[in-house]
Each structure stands twice: as C-alpha cells, then as structure tokens.
A and B are shown apart, each in its own frame.
Chain A
Amino acid sequence: MSATGPADTAAAGEDEPTARFEALVGAGEAVEPRDWMPDGYRRMVLRQLAQHAHSEIIGMQPEGAWLTRAPSLHRKSVLIAKVQDEAGHGLYLYSAAETLGVDRADLLDALHQGRQRASATFDHPALTWADTGTIAWLTDGAAVINQAPLCRTSYGPYARAMRRVCQEEAFHVRQGYDLMRALCEGTPAQKAMAQDAVDRWWLPAVALMFGPPDTEAGGADARTAAVGAAVSRRAMAWGIKRHTNDELRARFVDSCVPQAERLGLTLPDPAIRWNEERGHYDFTPVDWDVYRRALGEDTHWARQRVAHRRAAHEDGAWVREAAAAYAARTRDADAAAGQDAGAHEHGHGQEHGQDRTEVRA
C-alpha cells in the first residue's frame, strides 16, 4: 500500500492523485516507494518484480547442478561467480519488491507453494555441460535484451536494481558465448554436445524469455493480440515496460543469428533468414501454439525446481530459527547492559548489539 498522506487528498478529489501520478510518469520521472500510486500499477510492478526475482533464484538450479562438474578450474570459477550473481540479483529484486509493502518471506512462500512462478524457461532440464553455456548465451542474452530497457522502468527501486543487475550481467552472456566457442572449436563430440544443447534451448529462450505474443505481426491472432497489446499498452503507458514482447523477441533473434553463424551452430528454426526489405531476420512467429509447445507438456521439471527450492528452505528452517533466537538473546543482553545503538561499521570494532531505537508495536 502507498503511504499515508495522499489517502486524505483522495477523499477531497479522487482524480487528483491519479492525475499527479500520470503526469509524473508521463514526464519520465521515477516513481518512488512513498509516492501515491494506482493499485493497478503497484500490482503490475510487484507481479513483474516477484516473477523476476523468482526467476533469478530458480534459474540458479540448472547451472548450479553443473558447478561440481565444470571441466576446467577456470570454467568452475566462472560458473560459481555467475550462479552467485544470480543469487545476488534475486536479493536485489526482492529488496525492490519489499518497498511495495510486501515481505520477502511472503514472496518466497508464494514461490514455494506455487502461487507465484518463475519464468518457465527454467522448467527445462540442463542435461549436459553445453547446456550451461547455452543457457548463458541464449537465455541470459534474451534477459539482457529484456532488461536493458528495465534500467529505465518507471518504478525507481526496480530501475536501480536493474542497473546493478545489467552491469553485472554483461559478463554472463559473454562467458556463455566463450564457453560455446571453446566447444565448437573442440572435438566433434564437443561440438555435437553444443549443437544438441542449442537445439533444446532455442525455443525456450525465444518463446518464454519474452512472454507470450502480444502483436499480430508477432504471431498472435487478432483477438489475443488485442488482449496482449492492451496489457502491454497499459504497462508501457505506466513506463513499466518500454517495448512489446514481440519487438524485443525480434531484437533477440537479430542479435543471435550472426553469433550462431560465427560459432558454426545452427539455430533450430528453418524459417530464419535475412529479410533485406525489413532489415531484420525473419523467423517462425511465436504464436500461441509455439508458445505452448515451449512450455512443455510435462511439468515435471517445474515441480522439481520448486521442490528443490522448498527443500532447501525447509531444511534451513532450524538455522534461521537459531539466528533469530541468537539475535533476541543478544538484544536482551545488550538492553540489560544499557549499550547504545548506532550504525555498524566494518573494521572499526563498533559492532555492538542490537538497535534499541526500534519501535515495537
């Protein structure tokens, strides 16, 4: 919920805060947590933020499974750093979501109980080492195209989180491409592994990373295109999104095709060819059939990912309880000792106990 003040003004004139909000967004200004905002806006930002955060966390799993098997110590270091970044990005995004008045614990519960979901891209299994490179090259490549405009999204905390994410993520795609290049320049068996991974990950990347079709040109029929376009228009009017799903998808294909050619890999879409007239690559439109096919018939892996996450959370419950109990104990001890609170600074030995300025209801 939004902060206190504007609720009062709303009683005076319902339209005034809305008009002020629309003017703010229209001027390209950032919306900050304590500004009044329409419920629809808040819900839309929160939904996107939560899904984004969940995707970072769930997205750790397919690559995380290969940390112990990375075929060189250099690749192992790189993959650890990448999976670690994903944990960090999830945390940035959960923090941003919390400024909208939800609790991270509730968001995680929603993920664990299946009320909220991560991107369906990660509901596919990572079967070989080449999958880790392909995921980084294709799905992170797609994410970067999605995310670059989000650095200017209208909700301030989201945009700030995304600027940090994008800065860090540049290396993810590059290392993925680099990994694939090593495989493609290796033995025939290595190259075959690379091609196999691309064959399996292309569709999830091109279809699922950008969301369902939202234009007729992109492959939606007139009716669903209208619905998709309406949602996208709303998100764009509010400055949450800057481009349609199909626009970003086309941009992704344009960037991938020459990269695949340089690697000597074939993207598994026979319709891909350069269209001189449009100055873009043509590809099989991601219509709803293609989109559903990408989702997969079997939700085994979707369940598996959530079950893995839930197991980690449940197994760790006693650790979190211990940390809470310890904090309560030291807080009491400090209160008894009458210590004062303050900022806690690294390396200066000023790290006393708990903050007693906290107001408890």
Chain B
Amino acid sequence: MATTTERAAATEADGRTDPRLAVQLLRLGDDALVLGQRLCQWITRAPTIEEDLALSNIALDLVGQARLLLTLAGRLDGTGRDEDDLAFARTDREFTNALLTELPNGDFAATVARQLVYTHYAVAYYRALGDCADPELAAFGQRAAKEIAFHRLHADTWTERLGLGTAESARRMQEGLDHVWPYTAELFDEDDPVRDLAAAGTAPSPAPLRPGWERSTTEVITRAGLTVPSPRWRARGGRAGLHTEEFASLVAELQSVRRQFPGGTW
C-alpha cells in the first residue's frame, strides 16, 4: 500500500509528464509485478510453511512496489492509466520487465538463485534512486531498498544453506545459478533515454551498478562454496516486450478474471 507521501507524489505528478521517466518506472514496476506474480505461484507449495510465509512477504512487498511504480508511470506518460489499467489491460508485448523476472520458478534453488541476482541488483538500484532529484521518488527508492534488503538477506541465507547443505542441494543451487545467470546482463542494460535520465539526476542508470553487483554476488556465491557462472550467451528482449514463451500464460493468468468481466468494478 502506498503511503500518503507517495500518493501525494503521484498526485503532484498530475499534469506533469515525463515520458522517458515513465518508461523507466514502467520497467521497474513490471519487474516487481512479474516477479511478485511468480512468487505467488509458490504459496502453498513451499518446502516449509515458514517459507510460504517468507515468500508471500516478499511477494507482498513486490506488488506494493509495482503499484506505486505503475501509478506513477501511468501519470507521467500522459495517458492517465492507473495501476490496474497497466497491470490488467496491456498485452504481453507491452510488458517491459527483464526476462529474469518472468523465468518459471523451477525448484526452490532456481527461485533462490533468481532472488539472489535480482535482490542484489534491486537494492543497489533503489538505493541509487534514493538519491534522485525528486524527493518523493527518492523517498520511495529508500523504502524499496530497505524492503528488498530483507529479501536479499533471505536469498543470501538460502544460497549459503543450499550451497553448503547436502551434495544434492549444492548441485541444485549451482544449476539454479547457471540457469539464471545469462538473464542477469539485461538488468544492467541502458539506452539513450536512461542515460539522459541519469545525466539529469532524474533516475539512475543501472549500468554503473554492475561491478558492485558482481562483487557482492560473487562474495555470497563463494561463501556458499559455489561457482560464479560464466555463460557463453546473454538474454535480451524483455525491455522491448520480447518475452519468453512462458510469459504468455503468466499474463493470461494474471488478467483472466478481469478480462472475463468487462466493465467490472473490483
């Protein structure tokens, strides 16, 4: 749920448009929404009831972040769409999340691996957003960074336990890392609009965060007795709406009720 200051930020944005910032906030919002949706698929299926609770906490934070980001994006792009218009009325091709966030859950190790690489990136990004010019957006960045820092602790904790647990868990954790690694590069891609936003101090570019991310993930992976993968390819396309095949069913599921009841109020 957005706080009062955040709502105020959204209101203040009324009338003011900034299509480039809207694009960037939509990317961030889609990352959070899609990853939150994937984590929802775990609930009632986690290895322990405590993990059902832990993963739902994380999902809850992500959906909360998505709501604010989509709200802002819908206002800044001049269309006046609200969070639900953006979540439920876009086509698959209009989603701009990084492919990493839509990867199917796989086993628990694959999910932990996805969480690990995402949270180390997202904490750094939202911390940087915490320094941006707009005080309300900066406040949101700080809040999100704090929330995701706990998700990162959860991911670090499990990476270490699976890496140093049994032979089977170490194997699965390594496979999880190997699986997600090609999808990490996309998180740090920048294009001209993002470079402009960063230069203006409006919103940071993720590109300069990569060395720090490499250091911190390497530290955790090494501590867990695992190997940092060095993949021969990298995925791209999510930011341009080119998604995995599995994404279509994720979006269909997300939007199914809403689409069955046109004109409904919820």
Q: Hey, which bits of chain A sit against chain B, CB under 8 A?
A: 57, 60-61, 64-65, 67-77, 80-81, 83-84, 87-88, 90-91, 129, 182, 185-187, 189-190, 193, 308-309, 311-313, 315-326, 329
Known A318-B168, A322-B168: A312·B257 in contact at CB below 8 Å: no
For the A-B complex with A67-B40, A190-B261 known, give 8 more contacts whose Cβ atoms are closer than 8 Å: A71-B261, A73-B63, A77-B63, A80-B40, A87-B49, A309-B44, A315-B107, A321-B165
Interface pair A73/B46, CB less than 8 Å apart: no
User: Digit string of B222-266 for contact with A (CB within 8 Å is 1, else 0)?
Assistant: 000000000000000000000000000000011011100111111
Give chain B nearest CB distance to A339 CB in angstroms: 17
Give chain A nearest CB distance to B25 CB in angstroms: 15
Interface segment, B53-61, B200-208, B211-219?
B53-61
Known A68-B37, A87-B52: A320·B256 in contact at CB below 8 Å: no
Q: How far is the CA of A75 from the CA of B257 in the complex (A)?
A: 12
The 9 closest A-B pairs by CB, nearest first: A316-B47, A322-B165, A322-B169, A319-B47, A84-B56, A67-B40, A71-B257, A64-B44, A72-B266
Give chain B nearest CB distance to A243 CB in angstroms: 30
Q: Answer yes or no: B78 CB below 8 A from chain A CBs.
A: no
User: In the complex, which residue of chain A has the Cβ closest to the Cβ of B52?
Assistant: A87
Known A68-B40, A187-B261: A321·B169 in contact at CB below 8 Å: yes
Q: Which residues of B contact A60 (CB under 8 A)?
A: 43-44, 52
Interface segment, B14-22, B80-88, B133-141, B186-194?
B80-88
Interface pair B264/A190, CB less than 8 Å apart: yes
Interface pair B45/A312, CB less than 8 Å apart: yes
Q: Which residues of A contact B256 (CB under 8 A)?
A: 69
Interface segment, B4-12, B92-100, B120-128, B156-164?
B156-164
Q: Which residues of A contact B107 (CB under 8 A)?
A: 315
User: In the complex, which residue of chain A has the Cβ closest to the Cβ of B66?
Assistant: A73
User: In the complex, which residue of chain B has the Cβ closest to the Cβ of A64?
Assistant: B44
Q: Which residues of B contact A186 (CB under 8 A)?
A: 261, 264-266
Q: How far is the CA of A187 from the CA of B258 in the complex (A)?
A: 12
User: In the complex, which residue of chain A has the Cβ closest to the Cβ of B83?
Assistant: A73
Known A76-B63, A322-B161: A182·B265 in contact at CB below 8 Å: yes
Interface of chain A, main secondary structure: helix
Interface of chain B, main secondary structure: helix
Q: Answer yes or no: B182 CB below 8 A from chain A CBs.
A: no
Q: Answer yes or no: B172 CB below 8 A from chain A CBs.
A: yes
Residue tally, chain B, CB below 8 Å to A: 51
User: In the complex, which residue of chain A has the Cβ closest to the Cβ of B259?
Assistant: A71
Interface pair A68/B41, CB less than 8 Å apart: yes
A-B contact pairs, 5 of them (CB 8 A): A71-B261, A73-B63, A84-B43, A316-B46, A318-B172
Interface pair B168/A77, CB less than 8 Å apart: no
Q: How far is the CA of A357 from the CA of B46 in the complex (A)?
A: 32
Interface pair A326/B48, CB less than 8 Å apart: no
Pick the residue among B53, B70, B83, B166 that contacts A325 (CB under 8 A).
B166
Q: Answer yes or no: B1 CB below 8 A from chain A CBs.
A: yes
Interface pair A71/B258, CB less than 8 Å apart: yes
Interface pair A326/B257, CB less than 8 Å apart: no
Interface pair B266/A75, CB less than 8 Å apart: yes
Q: Answer yes or no: B64 CB below 8 A from chain A CBs.
A: yes
User: In the complex, which residue of chain A has the Cβ closest to the Cβ of B265?
Assistant: A186
Interface pair A323/B261, CB less than 8 Å apart: no
Interface pair B64/A77, CB less than 8 Å apart: yes
Interface pair A81/B60, CB less than 8 Å apart: yes
Interface pair B172/A91, CB less than 8 Å apart: no
Pick the residue among A69, A80, A91, A182 that contacts B43 (CB under 8 A).
A80
Interface pair B264/A71, CB less than 8 Å apart: yes
